[in-house]
């Protein structure tokens, strides 16, 4: 039986996809991945029997694109091996006349399944995707980009703390400049320093060369132009755009964030159509496969179903009334 993709598995996956020179912290990636995965889970509202482990059911469904449903009582050799009808990570086999898989099997240390069952004959199959593959690649795709972006935000914030690089002409000048900046950072409104200490230049014998007092600048300054290089606000706007793009992929309603003017109802409806295009097909497959699974196991009637989650976006009433919606107010 397969196991969830925890940190060691995800690290192995990332190691095969991200070259060494693409740098971001593991915390940024795992934060992004887990956040996006929860958003994906929120799209579909599953009703399952109370004794099903719902989180594992959803993970296997999104990871593999399908989940098998088996009556473990059929395979039990003792009463302790009877767990009822449960979902399980499964393997598909067999080829039908339309080249579709015809049989399904699972491996579990708690019970022994001697042979594959016919799909929708002796076992159920809950299907999410058309090609029996998962959708976690969508999560991985956007988590990769969000992790790079968040690391860039960290770099931008760090850069904004370094406005100047100062080079002093002597140890005394360096010590004075450090004292000046310490007082400046402490918030003192007036700072007084010894100008002669700033100007002094020492030779190799540590003697003061008075002849150089007016020949060299006391210190050199590199202005990093923080105001021009500050891009954190733009990066955070890009962060929201990436989240909106992910939401559109998986079907979470969202509204365009780039338009400064008011959004009219037609624009909102157009964006809503883009949002549900992919998830509608997923829901269609889920409903059909659940219906067929219930035909195999009538005991699941009324206990197993799926619907879209209804999000309260705060704009439903205005959209239904045909009014303009100002999302930037």
Tell me which of 207 and 158 has the higher pLDDT. Answer: 158
184: Cβ contacts below 8 Å, ≥ 6 apart: 191
Which residue carries 């999410």 as its tokens?
Answer: 128
Tens of pLDDT, residues 126-181: 999 999 999 999 999 999 899 889 888 887 777 777 666 677 777 877 888 788 87
Q: What is the pLDDT of residue 118?
A: 97
Q: How high does pLDDT run on average in the chain?
A: 78
- For a pLDDT cut of 70, what percent of the chain falls above it? 69
Please determine, for residue 206, whether its predicted confidence score (pLDDT) is greater than 50. Answer: no
Q: Is the alpha carbon torsion for 260, 262, 266, 269 positive or negative?
A: positive
Q: Which band of pLDDT confidence, cut at 50, 70 and 90, is reported for residue 211?
A: very low
Tens of pLDDT, residues 5-40: 555 665 665 555 555 455 566 788 889 999 999 999
Angle among Cα 35, 131, 303 to the nearest 5 degrees reads: 65
Q: Are 166 and 177 in contact (CB under 8 A)?
A: yes
Tens of pLDDT, residues 246-277: 998 898 887 655 554 555 555 555 556 777 78
List the structure tokens of 257: 């964030």
Please determine, for residue 326, whether its predicted confidence score (pLDDT) is greater than 50. Answer: no
Q: Please report the domains of the chain, with CATH numbers, ordered by start residue.
A: 1-160+231-329 (2.40.500.10), 164-223 (no CATH)
pLDDT average, residue stretch 93-104? 94
pLDDT average, residue stretch 72-87? 90
pLDDT average, residue stretch 83-100? 94
pTM of the model: 0.72
pLDDT average, residue stretch 179-193? 77
Q: What is the pLDDT of residue 210?
A: 39
Please determine, for residue 220, whether its predicted confidence score (pLDDT) is greater than 90. Answer: no
Residue of 162, 154, 172 lying closest to 231 (CA atoms): 154
């Amino acid at each position: 039986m397969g196991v969830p993709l925890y940190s060691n598995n995800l690290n192995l996956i990332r190691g095969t996809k991200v070259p060494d020179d693409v740098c971001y912290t593991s915390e940024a990636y795992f934060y992004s991945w887990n956040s996006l995965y929860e958003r994906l889970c929120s799209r579909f509202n599953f009703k399952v029997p109370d004794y099903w482990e719902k989180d594992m059911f959803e993970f296997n469904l999104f990871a593999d694109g399908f989940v098998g449903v088996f009556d473990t009582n059929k395979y039990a050799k003792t009463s302790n091996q009877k767990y009822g009808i449960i979902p399980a990570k499964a393997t598909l086999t067999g080829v039908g006349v339309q080249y579709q898989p015809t049989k399904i099997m699972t491996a579990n240390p708690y019970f022994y399944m001697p042979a594959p069952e016919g799909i929708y004959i002796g076992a159920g199959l809950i299907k999410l995707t058309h090609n029996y593959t998962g959708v976690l690649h969508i999560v991985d795709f956007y988590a990769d980009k969000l992790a790079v972006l968040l690391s860039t935000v960290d770099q931008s914030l760090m850069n904004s703390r370094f406005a100047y690089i100062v080079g002093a002409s002597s140890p005394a000048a360096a010590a004075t400049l450090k004292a000046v900046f310490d007082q400046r950072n402490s918030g003192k409104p007036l700072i007084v320093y010894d100008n002669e200490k700033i100007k002094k230049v020492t030779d190799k014998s540590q003697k003061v060369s008075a002849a150089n007092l007016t020949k060299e600048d006391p210190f050199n300054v590199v202005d990093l132009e923080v105001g021009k290089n500050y891009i954190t606000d733009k990066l955070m706007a890009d962060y929201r755009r990436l989240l909106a793009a992910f939401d559109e992929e998986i079907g979470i309603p969202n509204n365009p964030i780039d338009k400064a003017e008011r959004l009219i109802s037609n624009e909102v409806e157009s964006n809503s159509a883009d949002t549900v295009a992919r998830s509608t097909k997923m829901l269609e497959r889920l409903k059909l496969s659940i219906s067929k699974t219930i035909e195999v196991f009538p005991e699941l009637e009324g206990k197993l179903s799926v619907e879209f989650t209804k999000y309260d976006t705060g704009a439903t009433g205005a959209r239904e009334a045909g009014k303009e919606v100002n999302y930037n107010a």
